[in-house]
Amino acid sequence: MDLQLTVPCAVVSTQPVRPILKHIGDSRQSVVCDVSGGVPTIMYWGAALNAASLANLDAIATATARPNMPGVTDAINAITLVPCHGDGATMRPGIGGHRPGGRHWAPRFSFVSCEVVGQQLISIARDDVAQLELETKLECSAWGTLHAAATLRNVGESRYLLTNLSITLPVVESATQLLTFSGRWAREAQLHRRDFVDRAWTAENRTGRTSHEHLPLIFATERAADEWNGQVWGAHLAWSGNSVLLAEVLPDGRKYVQLGELLHAGELCLEPGESYATPEVIGVWSGNGLNSATQALHRNVRLRSHHPTVLQPRKVMLNTWEAVYFDHDLSRLCALADAASNVGVERFVLDDGWFGSRRNDKSGLGDWFVSPDVYPDGLAPLISHVQKLGMDFGIWVEPEMVNPDSELFRAHPEWVLAATGYEPVLARNQLVLNLAHPDAYAHIYRQLDALLAENDIAYVKWDMNRAHVHATGSDGAAGTHNQTRAVYQLIDQLRAAHPNVEIESCASGGGRIDHEILRRTERVWTSDCNDALERQIIQRGTSMLVPLEVMGAHIGPPTAHTTGRRQSLSFRGATAMFGHMGVEWNLLTLRDDQQMQLRHIIGLYKQHRELLHSGDFVRYDVTSDNSAVAHGVISTDKRKALMSYAQLSTAQGLVPSLWKIHGLLSDIEYTVTYVPLGDSREHASFTMTGAQLGRIGIQPPMLFPESAVLIHLESQ
């Protein structure tokens, strides 16, 4: 343990102090911080430093000292983890708030203590005037990620109204490209690349969930960086509520990214002795392009999850939504289960429409009891039928919502997130149930606990289908922060009571995908769009944050319900292969040949899922016009791989360019085999070394738009 203790706390001078440099890191990365100001400043974040460099850390401070500049404050303000306006920083402050009357709105912290324990650096700083204490934590994980968080404590005698507390990470000036994500319902995770040479970019999310529109993930890269080359710095806000992201180039050329929870006016008020902890920011650095950076994020999900179900094979599921919608009929559902079992499905998930008065989307939310009208004998007959077929049973719920037309709302209209005196804003005929209300929380927990205790349910699809609008808590203040925490608590409590139940995070598709929700769930629903063409892009973007085994990917019907496009089963199957495969299709309508082909595709998934869900996912840039995409999974020992090449649209050239398959062992020979998807396409197999595959490449076949091929590579 490296310890610096008890420097007297006072109003600090704007004059620079002697740096105190600390190092955390391992063979993957190094982080060097100056902690002299109380709030750490990252001086270096990148490739691991050798022993000689670590023995002379002071040289970093000397070599990188910035000169005084005209037209600015005398102090050269560092980009600390939490920049303070009171220090003279003109960037967006990492902390904002005030005491009654607007006092102490721009705090200035000074050093109290710092300790390094293992690969974690913990610093405490204090402002005796504003009577605030700030604790910051930085940690380098064994799997290559950097974790940052801060906690603000009110050590004064009056309340402190907090408006923001964010984490700020510096970016080197050579990072001249910015990668950000946008989206909407049924078109999530759309990647954008832009110049990062001046001005600022920001995204604010007020939906009350991680959101379809602004995935809280950002990358800064060197201009020449791609999937395999160049330096990359990335940051993800692990939080399932409102958020704000910022990337800025300062007038002096310095760059930074800032991520934090977006707080509505008056949403967080710290009473004396209370504290607020930021969501965790997960940083990644790579010297070998985007694939390496995103693989570190994948390992963060894989290695930080403690759920026993994660280690099990990801079962092929059938979800009933696009097969039956609200038309629940026991005999029809049993027949659907028979058809699902016949093609190799392992889990049957009953979607919306099984409870209360829920015959359409206008009523029943909040009444989590089995509908006696639709299921007079309860769910037991259906569950028994499903289990006799060798499948387990899953169910859909939306615990955070309530319909005005429900028994719950009629009994307790005060249990919603709505402002007194205003007509509440409806969306999808529903309101948000205030889970921060103790009685509402207890009621929903009892219903869900009883549902899981009284029925043999192995899987829960947890949905959240509307944004927070004017979401006001019982105290009259904005309620999204408390609601998000209550959702976490509810899931955690149910997991403790039912540890073997898997949970899927869904929010109208991909509206709640982040690493914090994945600490308590095993799957995310990537998108409500099962159109394979759209899914190729959606899943590619989402793969930059989460690994394949938690990313729901379904084979939908021939005509996509969200776009009207009609696509081949081989294309739909190849697309769903790279995720947690499922089926969302009325299998009672299949012809014999479709049934046979679907069974074949599901069999391929089962054959390769151990590789798909344990290896390193890689993306390839194969065309300049984005007419085709390629990706795959390489085993951790690099001895085998499964790859996909998908033609999305017509290309500029008549013949596709050679596909250079990087990431393999250069001196090992691989047998390259095209994997049949149940269609008539045939290709000969051949053998090449890893060096030949990476430097020369292979010729992709000429494909029609919206079609794909799979290839399997295995070392001799």
**CB-count burial class (<10 Å; 0-12, 13-18, 19+) for 155:** middle
What's the confidence (pLDDT) of residue 76?
64
Alpha helices in 412-526 (DSSP H): 438-454, 480-497
Helix (H) or strand (E) holding 409: helix 407-411
- Residue 422 DSSP one-character state: S
Confidence of residue 555 (pLDDT cuts 50, 70, 90): very high
How far, in Å, CA of 424 to CA of 418, rounded?
6
Q: What is the length of the chain? A: 716
Tell me the HSE value of 285 on the side-chain side, using a 13 A CA sphere. 22
How far apart are alpha carbons 98 and 164 in whole angstroms?
A: 11
Letter for the amino acid at 290?
L
| CA–CA gap between residue 582 and residue 345 (Å, rounded) | 8
CA proximity to 545, closest of 217, 233, 186, 303: 217
Question: Is the pLDDT at 344 greater than 60, yes or no?
Answer: yes
The 8 Å CB, 24+ separation contacts for 683-689 are 683/709, 687/716
pLDDT at 1: 37
157-178 pLDDT, tens per residue? 999 999 999 999 999 999 999 9
Q: How many Å apart are CA 481 and CA 422, to the nearest integer?
A: 21
Strand 580-583 versus strand 551-555 pairing type: parallel
- How far from 269 is each of 152, 252, 481, CA to CA, in Å? 12, 35, 12
The residue with tokens 């009883």 is 450
Secondary structure element (H or E) that encloses residue 300, with its range = helix 289-304
The CA distance from 413 to 20, in Å, is 57
- 355 vs 375, 383, 582, CA distance in Å? 9, 15, 23
Q: Pick the range with the lowest mean pLDDT from 130-139, 243-252, 358-367, 680-689.
A: 680-689
Cα-only R_g, the chain:
27
What 64-69 contacts at long range (C-beta under 8 Å, 24+ apart), as own/partner pairs, is: 66/252, 69/252
pLDDT, residue 459, reads: 98
132-146, 310-324, 327-341: segment of lowest average pLDDT: 310-324
Give, in order, the Cα–Cα distances in Å from 675 to each of 110, 579, 710.
62, 17, 5
CA–CA separation, 430 and 658 (whole Å): 52
- Mean pLDDT value across residues 84-96: 93
Candidate list 87, 367, 392, 463, residue with the active-site label: 463
At 312, the pLDDT band (50, 70, 90 cuts) reads confident
Question: How confident is the model over 265-280, as pLDDT tens digits?
Answer: 999 999 999 999 999 9
Whether the pLDDT of residue 90 is over 90: the answer is no
Q: Does pTM top 0.85 for this prediction?
A: yes
34 part of the active site: no
- The answer to whether 644 touches 548, Cβ cutoff 8 Å, is no
For 99, 213, 283, 330, the CA distances from 209, given in Å and listed in that order, are 29, 10, 21, 34
In the residue annotation, 528 being an active-site residue is answered as yes
Residues in CB range of 136: below 8 A, 6 or more apart? 39, 40, 81, 82, 122, 123, 125, 148, 149, 150, 151
Protein fold of 347-525:
TIM Barrel (3.20.20)
Burial class (CB in 10 A: 0-12, 13-18, 19+), 31: buried
Marked catalytic residue, from 127, 351, 367, 528: 528
Where does 617-715 sit in CATH, by number?
2.60.40.1180
Identify which of 55, 237, 36, 39 has the alpha carbon closest to the alpha carbon of residue 138: 39
- In CATH terms, the superfamily for domain 2-304 is alpha-galactosidase from lactobacil brevis (2.70.98.60)
Mean pLDDT of the chain: 94
Helices 569-576 and 592-612 pack at an angle, to 10 degrees, of 20
Residue 337 near residue 416 (C-beta atoms within 8 A): no
Query: Domain locations in the chain?
Result: 2-304, 347-525, 617-715
Q: Which CA distances in Å does 83 have to 41, 166, 169, 684?
A: 9, 9, 10, 60
Per-residue pLDDT tens for 121-132?
999 999 999 999
User: What does the pLDDT read at residue 304?
Assistant: 77
